[in-house]
Amino acid sequence: MTAPLACDRPPGSTCRMLDEPALAAGHWRDWTTSVETLLDRSHDHRELVTCNSCGQFWLWDWHEVTNWTSGDDSSWAIFAAVGSVDEARALARDSAAIASHPRAVYCNRPGDGVETTGRVKGGES
């Protein structure tokens, strides 16, 4: 199996991560650039990043759940495709809107299970 590594699409096209949510589980830091940190707490992080290839803005929403019994923490992340810095700033204040964003992918990492990725429910098919 060859996992997709990065978006390689030209500027203005649909970011590959939207079509291939598995990219949300990979080394996305390698092919994106951080634009602005919007929330920074020990177990919650929201950051605006941009795809180095196609230029898509992504609001990255990350949450960690500490597992006090086994030590394997769980985490989930949502990448919501946004059109501008202002849209990202507004969205970053609305957890419900992120969780049901129509153009978003998720990466779920259970501490004791198998990592999964996919389109956020309510999103385009």
Distance in Å, CB of 92 to Zn ion, minimum = 20
Q: Does 88 bind Zn ion (CB under 5 A)?
A: no
Distance in Å, CB of 66 to Zn ion, minimum = 32
Distance in Å, CB of 74 to Zn ion, minimum = 27
Candidate segments 46-54, 74-82, 99-107, 110-118, binder of Zn ion by CB under 5 A: 46-54
Q: Does 91 bind Zn ion (CB under 5 A)?
A: no
User: 9 is written with which tokens?
Assistant: 């699409």
Q: Does 15 bind Zn ion (CB under 5 A)?
A: yes
CA proximity to 75, closest of 93, 87, 88, 63: 63
Contact 120, 100 (CB under 8 A): yes
Distances (CA, A) of 63 to 19, 29, 99, 109, 110: 23, 17, 12, 10, 12
Q: Does 18 bind Zn ion (CB under 5 A)?
A: no
Q: Does 51 bind Zn ion (CB under 5 A)?
A: yes
- As a whole number of angstroms, the distance between CA 59 and CA 83 comes to 10
Whichever of 16 and 46 has its CB closer to Zn ion, that residue is: 16
Q: Does 54 bind Zn ion (CB under 5 A)?
A: yes
- As a whole number of angstroms, the distance between CA 56 and CA 13 comes to 8
Q: Which residue has the tokens 């949300």?
A: 24
- The footprint of Zn ion (CB under 5 A) covers 7, 15, 51, 53-54, 56
